[in-house]
Structure 1
Amino acid sequence: MSQSSWWSPERHADRRPMLLARNRAQAAIRGYLAEADFVEVDPPALVVSPGNETHLHAFATQMIGNDGLVHPMYLHTSPEFAMKKLLAAGEARIAAFAHVWRNRERGPRHSPEFTMLEWYRAGEPYEVLMEDVAALARLAVIATGAALMRQGEVTCDPALPYDRLSVAEAFDRFAGIDLLATLTVAGLPDRDALAAQTARAGVVFAPDDTWSDIFSRVLSERVEPKLGIGRITVLDRYPACEAALARLCDDDPREAERFEVYACGVELANGFGELTDPAEQRRRFEADMNERERIYGERYPLDEDFLAALAHMPPASGIAMGFDRLVMLATGAPRISDVLWVPVADT
């Protein structure tokens, strides 16, 4: 028997306090959501489309009908499509602790299967979600008995007011890059303009990198390590070309109502003021799938039922949080596998 096996009694004894802390944090969060009149829902894991983001990799499977025909299916990468259909059906405040699956993702902060806490508020601005995340982080720390969130030697106090800055402000502050100057008035990316500034900033990128590739390099190398140090950071107003499923800002079409939340340099959550225009959402999906096919030689189908429901969805805000990462930081665990009751087996 390997001493490194998660089920060995000695290893389990080391992990058990963190696993019990996980349960306490989950109970505290469920209490918060119930107090705020959220209905907990249970989205299906088996879906016709796993999501349509360029670099998101799904687990594929098959469903065999009673007629013997084979239908391609996927394990979802997020419960987002199903939950938005529930908003279209008339629900107003919903939340889910959902197991989700993402391929090509494994490391100290990534597991191929993990728990996502996702919640939506119909008719409410996306800023309210920022307050939710800060409150849930405080609850997690209290539930685990910790004083601070921790990743290695880096700490974050969720009791302090969070910092909020736009992506453009962060690029200027941490990389000396004027990000909005690399976008047209309509929000279209100017690759050469960003490449020139990035080269001057000393960030290395490949000659065939796109605007999005270069943006991601600067974000991961220069910006993200500086976020959530000492207190939570809300990184707000993503560029329009990185909007995903978020609507554009009313005051500047170069930016979108998308934000991410960081603690100890670790991304915890991704939130949107939700896009409810099915034609625009279809355009984005198709563009992302074209790019996916160019890079990886494959594309995922669109969920036509989701696009039909989007036309009936009320204005809403939604957010997805990596629950395991939250527990990692609240317990100071060095690896995500330390806070999973049963980690996915190594192959």
Structure 2
Amino acid sequence: MPESSWWSPHRHADRRPILLARNRIDAALRQYLVERDFLLVDPPGLQRSPGNETHLHAFGTTMIGNDGEGKAMYLHTSPEFTMKKLLAAGERRIASFQHVWRNRERSALHHPEFTMLEWYRAGEDYGVIIEDCLAMLRLAAETTGAKKLQFRGREADPLAEAERISVVEAFARYAGIDLLATIDADGIADGDAFAEQMTERGLSVPEDRSWSYLFSRVLVEKVEPNLGLGRITVLDRYPACEAALARRAADDRRVSERFELYACGVELANGFGELTDPEEQRRRFAAEMNEKHRLYGEQYPIDEEFLAALAIMPEASGVAMGFDRLVMLATAAPRIEMVLWAPVAE
């Protein structure tokens, strides 16, 4: 018997306390949602489109009809499209615990199949969603008895007042980059202006000088390691060009109602004040897929039913939280496989 397999009795015995904690956190979060009048829904994983963001990579498959003809389908990278259709149908507060699939992703914090907790509030500001997130982090720690969330020597106190910082402020503080100086009044970003600032600050500039790539690189290398240390960080008001599914901020078209939640340098959640303009959403999806084709030589179809649903969807806010990562931080697990009942084979 392979001693290194996850199902080896001694390895399972080591992981079992964490897995039982996972189940307790799952039950506690479901209770939190039900007590606040959320309906738990169950979107299908098989979709016409897996999502239309440049750097999200899907698993494709073929659905064979009764006539024997095949049709390209995908495993979703998020239940977002289906859940927004349910908002258009008339639901007001919905949530789901869903397995989702993302290709090209495997590391201590990434797994090709993982559990996403996603929820939406129709007619409510995204600030309420942020408060939901903070409450859930506290609840997860309380459920396991953890005084601090932990990941590889880093800690965050879920009971301390959260830090709320804009993306613009974070880039200035940790990288010396003036983001708004690289974005015009309509939110159009200039990669050359970004690269020039990087050079002035002694940062290496890669061959790909597209604004989005430079933004992601500086975010990962300079900004994210400083977030969620000692307390939770809410990284808020993303540049509009980095928020394909969020509406723009009312006071500044260069930024959007998008936030991410960090603890111990780990991103836990990604939320929006939701965009409900189907024509604007179509333009953004087309731009994302053009960039995906440029970088990776592939693109995914646009879900026309989703765009039709946006036309009648109410104003809403929503968020996706990496449930497995939350369990990791509440149990101090060093790798995501430690908190999965059965990891995907290498």
TM-score normalised by L of structure 2:
0.99
Partner of 1:74: 74
Residue pairs, 1:116-155, within 5 angstroms: 116-155=116-155
Residue pairs, 1:269-284, within 5 angstroms: 269-284=269-284
Gaps of 5+ in 1: none
Tell me the amino acid that sits aligned with residue 243 of structure 1: A
Partner of 1:63: 63
Range with bigger deviation, 191-200 or 232-241: 191-200
Separation in 2 of the partners of 1:194 and 1:311? Answer: 35
Residue pairs, 1:95-110, within 5 angstroms: 95-110=95-110
Tell me the amino acid that sits aligned with residue 146 of structure 2: A
Residue pairs, 1:318-333, within 5 angstroms: 318-333=318-333
Offset of residue 85 of structure 1: 0.2
Separation in 1 of the partners of 2:229 and 2:7? Answer: 34
Offset of residue 206 of structure 1: 1.2
Separation in 2 of the partners of 1:231 and 1:55? Answer: 29
Give percent identity, aligned residues only.
68
Q: Is the 8 A contact 2:277 2:310 kept in 1?
A: yes
Q: Does 1:94 align with 2:91?
A: no
Offset of residue 128 of structure 1: 0.7
Residue pairs, 1:236-255, within 5 angstroms: 236-255=236-255
> SS at 1:54's partner residue?
coil
Partner of 2:171: 171
Tell me the amino acid that sits aligned with residue 268 of structure 1: L
Partner of 2:183: 183
Q: CA RMSD in A?
A: 0.7
Separation in 1 of the partners of 2:344 and 2:117? Answer: 19
Q: Count residues in correspondence.
A: 346
Residue pairs, 1:160-309, within 5 angstroms: 160-309=160-309
Q: Is the 8 A contact 2:192 2:209 kept in 1?
A: no
Range with bigger deviation, 293-302 or 252-261: 293-302
Gaps of 5+ in 2: none
Offset of residue 2 of structure 1: 2.1
Tell me the amino acid that sits aligned with residue 240 of structure 1: A
> SS at 1:253's partner residue?
strand
> SS at 1:133's partner residue?
helix
Tell me the amino acid that sits aligned with residue 91 of structure 2: E
Partner of 1:83: 83
> SS at 2:155's partner residue?
strand
Range with bigger deviation, 86-95 or 173-182: 173-182
Tell me the amino acid that sits aligned with residue 167 of structure 1: V
Partner of 1:12: 12
TM-superposition CA deviations, 1:102-160 (whole Å, max 9, x none): 00000110000000000000000001111111100011111112111000111001111
TM-superposition CA deviations, 1:273-318 (whole Å, max 9, x none): 0000000000000111111111111110010010100101000000
Separation in 2 of the partners of 1:194 and 1:293? Answer: 23
Separation in 2 of the partners of 1:22 and 1:55? Answer: 29
TM-superposition CA deviations, 1:25-75 (whole Å, max 9, x none): 011101110111100000000000000001110000010111111110000
Q: Is the 8 A contact 1:205 1:217 kept in 2?
A: no
